[in-house]
Structure 1
Amino acid sequence: MPEAEAASRLAAQARLEALSFKDLDSWAEDDHAAAFKAFLRSCRALDSSAAELRPAQSPNRELLAICRKALEHENLPRTEARRFFETHFQPFAVVPHSGRGFLTGYYEPEFLGSRTPDSHYKVPLLARPDDLVTVPQGQTLPGIDKGLQAARRTAKGYEPYPDRAAIEDGALGPLAKPVVYLREPGEAFIIHVQGSSRIRLTDGSVMRVAYAGRNGHPYTSIGRVLVQRGEMDLETMTLAKLMGWLKDNLGPARELMRQNQSYIFFREADELAPEDGPIGGAGFPLVPGRSLAVDRGLWGYGLPFWLEGDLPFTLDRSEPLRRLMIAQDTGSAIVGPARGDFFFGSGEEAGIRAGLLRHTTRFVVLKPKARR
């Protein structure tokens, strides 16, 4: 999306209040060196002279100039990293015209799976179909509703892509090509929500799957639907509790999951090393605790965000969140100027913490200072 259009959309949804770094609670105590390392990953992707990867949209010119300065350093100590951000960026509080900032968490789950189906492994993750066309942010295609973000290419033109229920009922026909098979529909659904996974195969090896596209239909939180129906209480809901409900109520769970019309397609990410995080929307491995998913229609990849809120350990225990993070991913549920998704990492512990995070949070964007 063009920068001017994104700025116009942002102004319609929020105002930006200029701050000083002294206004940021516990700013000096954060590990700015860790944030700088994550920032360098974005910079390598943004700078075409420094990496093969290229972002989905042209970066802000001021941000690109700052990135090129950052790339002169492999790493910076904490104090120097803090000085770098303070020198090159100006903090602005993001104040939505309605509501408050809201932060959730996500992670890379790990499940058992098989490359071939059998009586235990029969729930597929599908590869991106050849007829799927992604609609660029802010654009439309002939015959496609403005709210849809993908379409199906046919001999007669474009048509809306099948929703989750239709795909599960076989609407893709021979275009439905499984990447891997899982045990439970609920496991596949969680991977759809998270956008990536580690799959421990029957031969003991680990397969990584990454996001490859979506059918373009809107995302619906099934956890919110369960709360609205009175099946669960929001204050005590956890990811483990949700997954247990999906496993123990297969018939109702199938109907519930179909309330989310969005459907995700995957690819095998065999380029990833075991120590790498999953691939984010910006095209490179995410950094646990420093990568933030944002609304891609409002914010560009690579922007630093300062967050002030709480990070839960359990339902009744949390720690203060005062952290500099970098916009490196997006998601269909991440919509709005002060809406983010905190990447916790991989595995069970990360999943527990990700499932607990759904808190109001103060968002402060660090905007590049204009070059003089």
Structure 2
Amino acid sequence: MASTLAAVAVSAVALLPGWTTGDPRPTLRAFRTSCSAPARPVRAALAPPAALAAACAEARRLGPAPSIAQTRTFFETRFEARRVPGEAFFTGYYEPVVEASLTRTDAFATPLYAPPAHVDQMPDRAAIMAGALKQRPLAYVTEPVEAFFIQVQGSARLRLRDGRLRRLAFAGRNGYPYTSIGKLLVERLHVPPADMGMTQLKAWIRANGEGLDEAGGKLMAENRSYIFFRFDDSLAPNAGPIGGAGVSLTPRVSLAVDKTRWPYGLPFYVDATVPAEGASPAPLQKLMVAQDTGSAIVGDARADVFLGSGPEAAAQAGAMREHGTLYVLWPKPEKGR
């Protein structure tokens, strides 16, 4: 990542396309949150540049309610903009809200698991679907495809049978590589990628059967990666899920990046077209913060935009497969260093 950026021309943040439109204060709030992230993140990423600590200190000195102008000036003076090489590819993700039960019933029979305590060889998805884990599940959902997409998103809100909502947070994975089953189906059915969003993929799996001996179940099993969860009852109802950096995510501000290429806490500027709230796709030129990662997020110019919780966010995320430009805001070194 550092060697890649060394060859990229530096430009002023104020010259970014669309920089003077919109309100950067929600991004500043997310940036401050990242500055106070736990020392041990949920999923480790690259170490941040030393100059980021000085930017965090100045962000705190802005006070509790800086103006839009003060916020813009902060990012303009503390950071330099660098265009990430290559065409960027943006997808969206969300926090599912699903019906669930803490006990197995005829209607709720698909398990969600915490990490196994003692296993000699971690099983892959097919083995887990076949019952390889001999432990009590955290909860049960209605069908395998729901469990699969909860794992793809990395978190969920479970609406239990007594009306309570409980949050599932990422707690680990089985270590097998992630395989995009949507990409597999696009190749096999010879359909354009735009015609195989999450809604279409779910429908195909349901129509072709979700059991391990059925086409839909076999397709899901080709992604050998399996995600484990824990309950997190510490979050406020209006707070976003916990991302890889260990902080609560903010819709349309938090960004998932490749943790092997980027540190958490860096601001990124997105210049793309994304699904708009309740409308057709619209241009998006916005400052965001790297606060999460994902197995499918691989490469310098690959990013996943957190879009919120529930069905509307799910619909937007399922439709988002957009190309554009990604800029990283790299902290300027302190004067005299």
TM-score in terms of structure 1 length? 0.83
Q: Secondary structure at the match of 2:184?
A: helix
Q: Does 1:20 align with 2:7?
A: no
Tell whether the 8 Å contact from 2:111 to 2:140 is kept in structure 1 after alignment: yes
Matches of 1:316 and 1:290, distance apart in 2: 19
Q: 1:264 & 1:215 partners in 2: Cα distance?
A: 7
Quick one: distance in 1 between partners of 2:173 and 2:43? 19
Q: Select the residue among 83, 89, 93 that pairs with 1:102.
A: 89
Task: Letter of the 1:298 partner, please give it.
Answer: R
Aligned to 1:127: 114
SS in 1 for 2:183: helix
Alignment of 1:7 with 2:2, yes or no, is: yes
**Which residue in the other structure is 1:140 paired with?**
none
Partner of 2:50: 61
Shift of 1:231: 6.9
The equivalent of 1:171 in structure 2 is 132
Cα offset, 1:56, TM superposition? 4.3
Q: Is the 8 A contact 1:37 1:75 kept in 2?
A: no
- Kindly indicate which of the two structures has a greater share of residues assigned to strand: 1
Q: Match of 2:334?
A: 371
Identify which of 119, 139, 143 aligns with 1:184: 143
- Give RMSD over aligned pairs: 2.3
Q: How does 1:80-91 map to 2 (within 5 A)?
A: 80-91=70-81
CA contact (8 A) 1:289 1:344 kept: yes
Q: Deviations over 1:178-201 (max 9, x none)?
A: 111000100000001000011111
Following superposition, the deviation at residue 260 of structure 1 comes to 0.6
Per-residue CA deviation, residues 278-332 of structure 1 (Å, 9 max, x unaligned), is 1100111100010000011111110000011101249993111100000000000
Match of 2:65 among 72, 75, 91: 75
What does 1:1-372 correspond to in 2, within 5 Å? 7-8=2-3, 10=4, 15-45=7-37, 56=44, 58-72=47-61, 73-96=63-86, 100-131=87-118, 154=120, 161-172=122-133, 174=134, 176-230=135-189, 232-250=191-209, 251-313=214-276, 317-372=280-335
Q: Distance in 1 between matches of 2:72 and 2:186?
A: 42
Contact 2:44 2:259 in 1 (8 A): no
The TM-score with structure 2 as length reference comes to: 0.91
Structure-1 separation of matches of 2:313 and 2:129: 29
- How many Å separate the matches in 2 of 1:103 and 1:341? 6
* Matching residue's letter, 1:166: A
Local SS of the residue matching 1:282:
coil
Amino acid in the other structure paired with 1:260:
N
Deviation at 1:234, TM superposition (A): 2.1
1:124 is aligned with what amino acid?
A: P
Secondary structure of the residue that 1:41 maps to in structure 2?
helix
Relative to structure 2, which stretch is displaced further, 306-315 or 319-328?
306-315
Q: Structure 2, unaligned stretches of length 5 or more? A: none
Residues 15 and 330 of structure 1: is their aligned pair in 2 closer, same or farther, counting only changes over 3 Å?
Answer: farther
- Asked if 1 retains the 8 angstrom alpha-carbon contact of 2:13 and 2:79, the reply is no
Q: What letter is aligned with 1:199? A: L
Q: Counterpart amino acid of 1:23?
A: L
**1:245 CA drift (Å):** 2.1
Preserved CA contact (<8 Å) 2:168 2:229: yes
Shift in Å, 1:128: 1.1
**How far off is 1:103 after superposition?**
0.6
How many positions carry a matched residue from both structures?
329
Question: Residues of 2 paired with 1:218 and 1:203: CA distance?
Answer: 37
Distance 2:188 2:277 in 1: 24
The amino acid of 1:30's aligned partner reads G
Ranges in structure 1 where 5+ consecutive residues have no aligned partner: 1-5, 132-151
Aligned sequence identity (%): 45
Secondary structure, counterpart of 2:81 in structure 1: strand
| Partner Cα separation in structure 1 for residue 112 and residue 249 of structure 2 | 22
